[in-house]
Every structure is written in C-alpha cells, then in structure tokens.
Chain A
Amino acid sequence: AQKVTQAQTEISVVEKEDVTLDCVYETRDTTYYLFWYKQPPSGELVFLIRRNSFDEQNEISGRYSWNFQKSTSSFNFTITASQVVDSAVYFCALSEADGGSQGNLIFGKGTKLSVKP
C-alpha cells in the first residue's frame, strides 16, 4: 500500500481560481513529518513546508496554505488566487521512523497543476 497518496494526477485551473491539492498519508508512527515540494518545469524540487505530527495548526504563507488533519491522515495544500507561475508538479512527502530509515522521504506520485491565463 502506498504510504503517501496524491489521488489527483493532474489539475487544470484558470488564473485567479483557488485550488486544493490533496495528500493522504499512512504511518503507524506517532512522530513523523510531512513535507510539500514544488517541481517547476526546470526540474529542481523546491521546498515549501515541513510539518511535524504534533503540530496540527494550519499554516498560511502568502497565497499558500496547508491544512493538516491527523484524524483523516491528510495534509492538503491550497493555493489561493492561482497564478501561471504556480504551474508545476507538487509532491507531498512523509518522513517516519519506521524501518530505521528515519531521514528518508517517502514521496507521493505528485500532482501536476496547470494554471491557464
């Protein structure tokens, strides 16, 4: 079973629309971390956010916001008033202690977001 599921393979929106990217994770650990990365067409992964399992506060950074809900094992990412520059593949990732590979990131398959002008 996938440990990080990003069910939306591709999303297309028109500029200024709000869009939410879903991320559902699976872990038996009580201490774990969740991440979001952005991969623009250039290919480099850009770090967006890190959240630990003990901090369920939602976070807002400009047009970006994240909703962490342990009850549903979800860590969703919302872009408000999307812009063409937001077009990229977005990855959700999990870091857990299970199996001894504590530092390793387990990635979802990504969601490709296309924002059209």
Chain B
Amino acid sequence: DGGITQSPKYLFRKEGQNVTLSCEQNLNHDAMYWYRQDPGQGLRLIYYSQIVNDFQKGDIAEGYSVSREKKESFPLTVTSAQKNPTAFYLCASSIIVHSGGLGDTQYFGPGTRLTVL
C-alpha cells in the first residue's frame, strides 16, 4: 500500500538531547513537509523540500534541521536549541503539479508525538 509512514509514534527525549523523527513516503511525491502542532493550535510549517538535496525554512525552523538525500525520505532532527520541543509532529508530501507547489494537495502521515522529560 502506498502511503506516508512516520516513526516512532511516541518519542521521549531528555532535555539537551537531539532526536530524529523519521518520515518516509512511497507515493513518488516530489515535495515533503514537516509541521508542528501544539494543543488547540493549527499546524505550523517547520521545513519543506521540493526536490532532493534542497529544502527551505518554514515559519518556525529555529532549533530544527532536515535533510533530503532521497526522494522518499525527509527526516527531521529536533536539536537541543529548540526551546519547547514537546509537540505533535506531522509529515506530509505532495506531487508538484503547479509551479512552486501552489495549490498542490498535501497528504499526511500519522504523526509522532514528542515529549521532553
């Protein structure tokens, strides 16, 4: 079955540690995205990538890093510089139909819930 997988589902981290969240898709989608969701809030964009080996910062990139070495994979590292990392993290992907990705439908993975102890 085609889809987007995220692992792990739950992740616990001690303060000061870096942690990497996995996102894999087998939909052959060009673009991939990382969002953060806090309770009672909408999703906020962390990073996105429209092509392998290239990515751009979203609205809240500070304290996060990403890589896009393969089309299928877009891991997110939450670094110790992120002041308040406890949140629900969602990965998404889309086919780029329109120039720049305007209006392309994004499909989401099941999410990873990160808790800092």
Contacts and interface: CB of A to CB of B under 8 A. Distances in A.
B21 interface: no
Interface in B78-100: 88, 90, 92, 94, 96, 98-100
A103 B111 contact: no
Interface residues of B, number: 32
B61 interface: no
Interface residues of A, number: 30
Contacts of B100: 97, 100, 102-103
Given A91-B42, A103-B50, A50 B96 contact: no
A109 interface: yes
A8 interface: no
17 contacts: A35-B105, A43-B88, A43-B90, A44-B90, A45-B43, A45-B90, A47-B105, A93-B42, A100-B100, A101-B45, A101-B56, A102-B100, A103-B96, A103-B100, A103-B102, A104-B48, A108-B42
